[in-house]
Amino acid sequence: MGEMGLMLVQMLPLIAVLVVMYFLMIRPQKKKEKKTQEMRNNLQVGDEVTTIGGIIGRVVSLREDTLVIETGSDRSKIRIKRWAVQSCETIHDEV
Protein backbone atom coordinates (compact mmCIF):
# COMPACT_ATOMS: atom_id res chain seq x y z
CA MET A 1 0.00 0.00 0.00
CA GLY A 2 1.50 3.28 -1.11
CA GLU A 3 1.13 6.79 0.19
CA MET A 4 -1.99 7.35 -1.91
CA GLY A 5 -3.75 4.30 -0.48
CA LEU A 6 -2.86 5.32 3.08
CA MET A 7 -4.19 8.83 2.50
CA LEU A 8 -7.44 7.43 1.09
CA VAL A 9 -7.93 5.17 4.13
CA GLN A 10 -7.38 8.15 6.45
CA MET A 11 -10.00 10.22 4.58
CA LEU A 12 -12.71 7.51 4.65
CA PRO A 13 -14.10 8.50 8.09
CA LEU A 14 -14.39 12.14 6.98
CA ILE A 15 -16.18 11.14 3.78
CA ALA A 16 -18.51 8.85 5.77
CA VAL A 17 -19.39 11.71 8.17
CA LEU A 18 -20.19 14.01 5.24
CA VAL A 19 -22.46 11.39 3.65
CA VAL A 20 -24.28 10.77 6.93
CA MET A 21 -24.68 14.55 7.46
CA TYR A 22 -26.24 14.86 4.01
CA PHE A 23 -28.83 12.16 4.68
CA LEU A 24 -29.65 13.30 8.24
CA MET A 25 -29.66 17.09 7.82
CA ILE A 26 -29.53 18.50 4.31
CA ARG A 27 -31.88 16.14 2.48
CA PRO A 28 -34.78 16.39 5.00
CA GLN A 29 -34.45 20.20 5.04
CA LYS A 30 -34.72 20.35 1.24
CA LYS A 31 -37.80 18.09 1.33
CA LYS A 32 -39.42 20.36 3.93
CA GLU A 33 -38.65 23.50 1.87
CA LYS A 34 -40.15 21.88 -1.24
CA LYS A 35 -43.33 20.93 0.65
CA THR A 36 -43.67 24.47 2.09
CA GLN A 37 -43.20 26.04 -1.34
CA GLU A 38 -45.83 23.71 -2.79
CA MET A 39 -48.26 24.73 -0.01
CA ARG A 40 -47.66 28.44 -0.76
CA ASN A 41 -48.21 27.88 -4.50
CA ASN A 42 -51.51 26.05 -3.87
CA LEU A 43 -53.13 28.70 -1.65
CA GLN A 44 -56.72 29.56 -2.53
CA VAL A 45 -59.13 32.36 -1.61
CA GLY A 46 -60.83 31.42 1.67
CA ASP A 47 -57.88 29.48 3.11
CA GLU A 48 -57.00 30.16 6.74
CA VAL A 49 -53.26 30.88 7.00
CA THR A 50 -50.71 31.72 9.67
CA THR A 51 -47.84 34.05 8.77
CA ILE A 52 -44.25 33.75 9.92
CA GLY A 53 -44.98 36.65 12.31
CA GLY A 54 -47.88 34.75 13.90
CA ILE A 55 -50.77 36.64 12.27
CA ILE A 56 -53.77 34.42 11.53
CA GLY A 57 -56.12 35.38 8.73
CA ARG A 58 -58.25 34.29 5.80
CA VAL A 59 -57.01 34.78 2.22
CA VAL A 60 -59.26 37.24 0.31
CA SER A 61 -57.17 37.76 -2.83
CA LEU A 62 -54.10 36.29 -4.50
CA ARG A 63 -51.49 37.78 -6.80
CA GLU A 64 -48.24 36.49 -8.26
CA ASP A 65 -46.07 37.04 -5.16
CA THR A 66 -48.45 38.73 -2.69
CA LEU A 67 -51.78 38.00 -1.09
CA VAL A 68 -54.30 39.91 0.99
CA ILE A 69 -55.52 38.38 4.22
CA GLU A 70 -58.44 39.45 6.38
CA THR A 71 -57.87 39.26 10.11
CA GLY A 72 -59.56 40.22 13.38
CA SER A 73 -63.19 40.86 14.26
CA ASP A 74 -63.13 44.21 12.41
CA ARG A 75 -62.07 42.35 9.24
CA SER A 76 -58.92 44.43 8.64
CA LYS A 77 -57.05 43.55 5.49
CA ILE A 78 -53.28 43.10 5.33
CA ARG A 79 -51.21 42.64 2.17
CA ILE A 80 -48.33 40.21 2.69
CA LYS A 81 -45.69 38.48 0.59
CA ARG A 82 -46.41 34.87 -0.33
CA TRP A 83 -43.11 33.72 1.26
CA ALA A 84 -44.37 35.04 4.64
CA VAL A 85 -47.03 32.31 4.89
CA GLN A 86 -45.87 29.72 7.40
CA SER A 87 -48.81 27.33 7.28
CA CYS A 88 -52.25 26.80 5.78
CA GLU A 89 -54.84 25.48 8.23
CA THR A 90 -57.41 24.66 5.52
CA ILE A 91 -57.47 21.04 4.38
CA HIS A 92 -58.11 20.57 0.66
CA ASP A 93 -59.32 17.39 -0.99
CA GLU A 94 -56.67 15.87 -3.24
CA VAL A 95 -57.74 15.99 -6.89
Residue-wise pLDDT tens digits, 18-46: 999 888 988 899 999 999 999 999 999 99
Rounded Cα–Cα distance for residues 89 and 74 (Å): 21
pLDDT score for 3: 82
Task: Say if residue 8's pLDDT is above 90.
Answer: no
The DSSP-derived string for the chain is --HHHHHHHHHHHHHHHHHHHIIIIIHHHHHHHHHHHHHHHT--TT-EEEETTS-EEEEEEE-SSEEEEEETTTTEEEEEEGGGEEEE-PPPPP-
Supply the pTM of this predicted model.
Answer: 0.69
pLDDT value of position 94: 63
Q: In sequence order, which residues have a C-beta less than 8 Å from that of residue 46 and are 6 or more positions away?
A: 58, 59, 90
24 and 48 share one domain: no
pLDDT tens-digit series, residues 69-83: 999 889 999 999 999
Residues 54 and 28 in one domain: no
Which of 26, 41, 56 marks a domain boundary?
Answer: 41
Say if residue 67 is in the same domain as residue 23: no
